[in-house]
Structure 1
Amino acid sequence: MNQRNKIQGCCSNLSLPQLTKKTDENCAKTLKQITPTNTLKKIGDFQGCGRSTSQLNNAILNNLYDQASQKSKVGDKPRKDMCSRAHTIYQQQQNDDQLRKQIQYNDYFIGGIKEILGKEICAQNLKQMCIDQLNQIYKNVTCKDQTFISKKQLPNIVLTKKYSIAIDLDETLVHSEELKPNRRYDFQNLQFGTFIRPYCLQFLQLLNKHANLFVFTSSNIKYATTIMQILDPQKDLFQGLFFRDHCTILQDNSQVKDIKIISSDLTKIILIDNNPQCFIPEPFNGIPIVPFLDNKADKELLILSQFIEREIFTSEDVQHVIKRFFQFQQFRQFENGMQAYQILYN
């Protein structure tokens, strides 16, 4: 926690993103601004901005060929390199398409926990984070007599879509750390480097089609706005930011996130967070996600997008869906979360 606070304290003070509607023109601008590394990483089999996947493919390829034409004559090496890159991107999209068809969301979250805990070669701190998650779920469903002052709904929040989704940052969408040698980050400044979770852009674009998106983090506002500008440079995905000052403090001084400050309609709002303890105020509005550090093969956002698209976005009461799908209330009959996991899922 001290290391994260040190990182967050080094960020510059940036303005809060505002929501704007995305047009095809803005979508094209966004595609032109994607760097080679991030393009290969983020473009997948998702529909974005009202375009089909094939249209996105063509837009990307045409954009790359246009860049090549402007920079060199036919037969020059820059042109060949650009064409090669376009082919690589197209091939990556085909691979993503095949991967998405293979993925099933029925084992979401617990499947990810099993994969991490079952690996002999896996970072010990990542395994410990998963164990902590299981114990946080236990605390969530067995929490009694916790006194906290519920946050009042903030004024001037206009919800234009049927659903609202609040999303955590650290270890959910990104992982930030102090700069280390020989590490290639997706973003870095003089103080810290950040890894962006694979499929993050597609995930946010898909959710933005049906839901008002908000960042809800326990980080400070300077760090949070820095990360938001990395994820949403056009300021057209997130409608607002909730940060450390908006968190609620329990009697044991732990922080939780009361999403009623966004909407009082708990049938149409969810919170996605790698810390299930944050769900205590509204335990059946929270969707957990296994923690992310730097795994370039991570597929959790891809799997989660299917669950949200097929279950949440077709529901009139998200609480019923979450309660039925995860069934974490079973944890109550055990002594702790790890014991519940070992008996229920092994």
Structure 2
Amino acid sequence: MNQRNEKQEQCTNLYLPQLINKPLEENSKTFKQIGSINTLKTISQFKNDSISEFQIKNDVSYNYSNKFTQSNKEKSQIQSNRAHTVCKQYQFVNQLRNEIYYKNYFIGGIKEILSKDKYSQNLKQMCLDQLNQIYKNVTCNTQIFNSKKQMPNLILSKKYSIAIDLDETLVHSEELQPNKRYDFQNLQFGAFIRPYSQQFLQLVSKHANLFIFTSSNLKYAKIIAQILDPQKEYFQGIFFRDHCTVLKDNTQTKDINIISGDLTKIILIDNNPQCFIPQPFNGIPIIPFLDSKTDQELIILSQFLEREIFNVEDVQPVIKRFFQFEQFRQFQNGVQAFEILHN
């Protein structure tokens, strides 16, 4: 956590007043793509790919017409290969979605991580911390903070709204380390993108207004937003550190009233359940992400949202019934509750 805060502080907070969605040309110039971001382009996008790499040189010694024909053939073959890859990726994702039993979401993931040696001690400790954060979420006195005022001029065109965290939810960022292959990096940090992020955002944006809600500073949030959503297709705005609510004990939370006063149709997805304290039954937790290429949590989460959330008039009783975190109240802490209730 300290390393992440140090990394975030390297990006100076701009303290801009409201939602910022301007492009970051100056930041994009510093990006260096190293690995895959699990991007699924549409076939139409492939058709618009530039052929600059096959552009014909003006040389009197070769046949312009034959070279142009060959270039088009090469371009068509590349487009065909890419389209085939996209279709295979979609088929793979659909197969995963059909195989996954979404009712094991979150608690099943914690049980898996805590019981297997293949997971790092760092990830295990983060999961134990989550359990205690859940306990604090359901036992905290919600009257000890002032509710945030709703942000004006937000257009909520879809039935549902979802605010989603960045760090350890959609990405994991850290100071650059040698011998690590990052999905993206600039001069300040390297970032791993959670597998299936693009597919997840594409799916849920069909049903919900999507917003980033991070406790990081704005400049960092805009960099990550540009990586995840370069065409600005998914996110309608960014809420950052200045929009968070700090309790009397310095606990940082996220009051989603700032997006909408209708709590029946809004959700906050975060790896830190303490963020749900202002609205404990509007929060959906997610297993922390570090750098695992086999992580499938976003696929499981998309199944849960589709089958349990995107067809109801009030999300709160659904979330309350599905996770049953109220049972944690009868124990001394979250870890004890988990050991007794789920083992």
Residue 155 of structure 1 corresponds to 152
Equivalent-residue separation in structure 1 for 2:50 and 2:89 (angstroms): 17
Given that 2:46 and 2:82 are in contact with CA atoms closer than 8 Å, whether structure 1 keeps it comes out as: no
Residue 64 of structure 2 corresponds to none
Given that 1:65 and 1:83 are in contact with CA atoms closer than 8 Å, whether structure 2 keeps it comes out as: no
Residue 9 of structure 1 corresponds to 9
In the TM superposition, residue 223 of structure 1 has moved relative to its aligned partner by 0.8
- Equivalent runs, 1:231-242 vs 2, <5 Å: 231-242=228-239
1:267 lines up with 2:264 in the alignment: yes
Q: Secondary structure at the match of 1:139?
A: helix
Equivalent-residue separation in structure 2 for 1:337 and 1:224 (angstroms): 30
Residue 316 of structure 1 corresponds to 313
Name the TM-score, length of structure 2 as normaliser.
Answer: 0.84
Equivalent-residue separation in structure 2 for 1:290 and 1:325 (angstroms): 16
- Equivalent runs, 1:36-47 vs 2, <5 Å: 38=36, 41-43=38-40
* Greater displacement, 333-342 / 4-13: 4-13
In the TM superposition, residue 98 of structure 1 has moved relative to its aligned partner by 1.7
**Structure 2 unaligned runs (5+)?**
24-32, 57-66
Equivalent-residue separation in structure 2 for 1:116 and 1:177 (angstroms): 22
Given that 1:18 and 1:235 are in contact with CA atoms closer than 8 Å, whether structure 2 keeps it comes out as: no
Equivalent-residue separation in structure 1 for 2:146 and 2:248 (angstroms): 10
Given that 1:60 and 1:86 are in contact with CA atoms closer than 8 Å, whether structure 2 keeps it comes out as: no
Equivalent-residue separation in structure 2 for 1:205 and 1:89 (angstroms): 14
Evaluate the alpha carbon distance shift between residue 84 and residue 169 of structure 1 in structure 2; reply closer, same or farther with a 3 A threshold: same
1:228 lines up with 2:225 in the alignment: yes
Evaluate the alpha carbon distance shift between residue 211 and residue 86 of structure 1 in structure 2; reply closer, same or farther with a 3 A threshold: closer
In the TM superposition, residue 212 of structure 1 has moved relative to its aligned partner by 1.1
* Greater displacement, 3-12 / 335-344: 3-12
1:107 lines up with 2:87 in the alignment: no
Given that 1:64 and 1:83 are in contact with CA atoms closer than 8 Å, whether structure 2 keeps it comes out as: no
Evaluate the alpha carbon distance shift between residue 83 and residue 235 of structure 1 in structure 2; reply closer, same or farther with a 3 A threshold: closer
In the TM superposition, residue 83 of structure 1 has moved relative to its aligned partner by 5.8
Equivalent-residue separation in structure 1 for 2:229 and 2:72 (angstroms): 36
Residue number among 208, 213, 224 corresponding to 1:211 in the alignment: 208
Equivalent-residue separation in structure 2 for 1:100 and 1:145 (angstroms): 37
Equivalent-residue separation in structure 1 for 2:261 and 2:250 (angstroms): 25
The two structures, once aligned, show a CA RMSD in angstroms of: 2.9
1:129 lines up with 2:126 in the alignment: yes
Q: Deviations over 1:226-278 (max 9, x none)?
A: 11111111223111111111111111111011101111110010100000011
Given that 1:148 and 1:251 are in contact with CA atoms closer than 8 Å, whether structure 2 keeps it comes out as: yes
Q: Look up the equivalent residue of 1:261 and give its one-letter code.
A: I
1:305 lines up with 2:309 in the alignment: no
Given that 2:245 and 2:255 are in contact with CA atoms closer than 8 Å, whether structure 1 keeps it comes out as: yes
In the TM superposition, residue 2 of structure 1 has moved relative to its aligned partner by 3.1
* Greater displacement, 259-268 / 231-240: 231-240
Q: Look up the equivalent residue of 1:173 and give its one-letter code.
A: L
In the TM superposition, residue 100 of structure 1 has moved relative to its aligned partner by 1.6
Given that 1:65 and 1:82 are in contact with CA atoms closer than 8 Å, whether structure 2 keeps it comes out as: no
Q: Secondary structure at the match of 1:283?
A: coil
Given that 2:171 and 2:192 are in contact with CA atoms closer than 8 Å, whether structure 1 keeps it comes out as: yes
Q: Deviations over 1:286-306 (max 9, x none)?
A: 000000010111111111111
Between the two proteins, the alignment pairs up a number of residues equal to 318
Residue number among 190, 193, 197 corresponding to 2:190 in the alignment: 193
Name the TM-score, length of structure 1 as normaliser.
Answer: 0.83
In the TM superposition, residue 199 of structure 1 has moved relative to its aligned partner by 0.8
Evaluate the alpha carbon distance shift between residue 79 and residue 163 of structure 1 in structure 2; reply closer, same or farther with a 3 A threshold: closer
* Greater displacement, 79-88 / 190-199: 79-88
Residue 24 of structure 1 corresponds to none
Equivalent-residue separation in structure 1 for 2:47 and 2:76 (angstroms): 13
Q: Secondary structure at the match of 2:281?
A: helix
Given that 2:269 and 2:283 are in contact with CA atoms closer than 8 Å, whether structure 1 keeps it comes out as: yes
Given that 1:178 and 1:192 are in contact with CA atoms closer than 8 Å, whether structure 2 keeps it comes out as: yes
Given that 1:69 and 1:79 are in contact with CA atoms closer than 8 Å, whether structure 2 keeps it comes out as: no
Evaluate the alpha carbon distance shift between residue 300 and residue 207 of structure 1 in structure 2; reply closer, same or farther with a 3 A threshold: same
Q: Secondary structure at the match of 2:162?
A: strand
Given that 1:269 and 1:318 are in contact with CA atoms closer than 8 Å, whether structure 2 keeps it comes out as: yes
Equivalent-residue separation in structure 2 for 1:78 and 1:167 (angstroms): 38
Q: Look up the equivalent residue of 2:180 and give its one-letter code.
A: R
In the TM superposition, residue 11 of structure 1 has moved relative to its aligned partner by 3.4
Q: Which has the larger radius of gyration?
A: 2
Q: Look up the equivalent residue of 2:20 and give its one-letter code.
A: L
Equivalent-residue separation in structure 2 for 1:244 and 1:211 (angstroms): 23
Q: Secondary structure at the match of 1:113?
A: helix
Residue 252 of structure 1 corresponds to 249
**Structure 1 unaligned runs (5+)?**
20-34, 49-55
